[in-house]
Structure 1
Amino acid sequence: MADIRITQAHKLPHKKAKAAAQKVADQMANEYEMASEWDGDVLHFKRSGVSGRLTVGEQEAHLEISLGFLLKAFASTIEEKVSAKMKKVFGAKA
């Protein structure tokens, strides 16, 4: 069960929305040593203590993150940062 769930509306064409998600995945891989892999429109990501998926839809992106025991205490802080990043990346004013 996910500890963090965020849905972000967007107005990007589907291809650009997936490209934006990939850009974030690349940054996460560099900063946090996080591996990611696409399965259709779903980007699965994982590293020690964190796993999740980002589903890119036509008008919204839906993120689910599961945190390991040691990171659960930081869930609200992580959610704030990730939510702000999603707003920036997907540029929605919903």
Structure 2
Amino acid sequence: MADINITQEHSLDPAQARAAAEKVAQKMAQEFDLACTWQGDVLRFERSGVEGSLTLAPEQAQMKIKLGFLLSAFSSSIESKVAENMRKVFAGAA
């Protein structure tokens, strides 16, 4: 198992942050075939071998991903893709 933790700072109001999180979720759903659901300010996602959450807080978004054994070999490339996507989306939405 591999754990990925990414924190992205932002200066968005709650509605803008949620819209940015939706963009991140859509991109992840396409690239990694994930099912996503909101639980308050936490976007949860999963599929076989992957589970995680994107938590929205004032001025930051925190992504936590747990990869199963097979996907853990790709953890660094997955982390860099997700981090880049979060940077683009949360900075671009400002």
CA distance change for structure 1 residues 55 and 2 in 2, over 3 Å: closer, same or farther? farther
Is the contact between residue 52 and residue 66 of structure 1 (CA under 8 Å) also seen in structure 2? Answer: yes
Unaligned runs of 5+ in 1: none
- 1:88 is matched with 88
Whole-angstrom distance in 1 between the partners of 2:32 and 2:87: 20
Q: Which amino acid aligns with 2:68?
A: G
Whole-angstrom distance in 2 between the partners of 1:81 and 1:31: 10
CA distance change for structure 1 residues 11 and 64 in 2, over 3 Å: closer, same or farther? same
Q: TM-score, normalised by structure 2?
A: 0.88
Unaligned runs of 5+ in 2: none
Whole-angstrom distance in 2 between the partners of 1:79 and 1:28: 12
Alignment root-mean-square deviation, CA: 1.7
Overall identity of the aligned pairs, in %: 55
Is the contact between residue 49 and residue 67 of structure 1 (CA under 8 Å) also seen in structure 2? Answer: yes
3-state DSSP of counterpart to 2:12 = coil
Q: TM-score, normalised by structure 1?
A: 0.88
Aligned pair count reads 92
Moved segments of 4+, more than 4 Å:
none
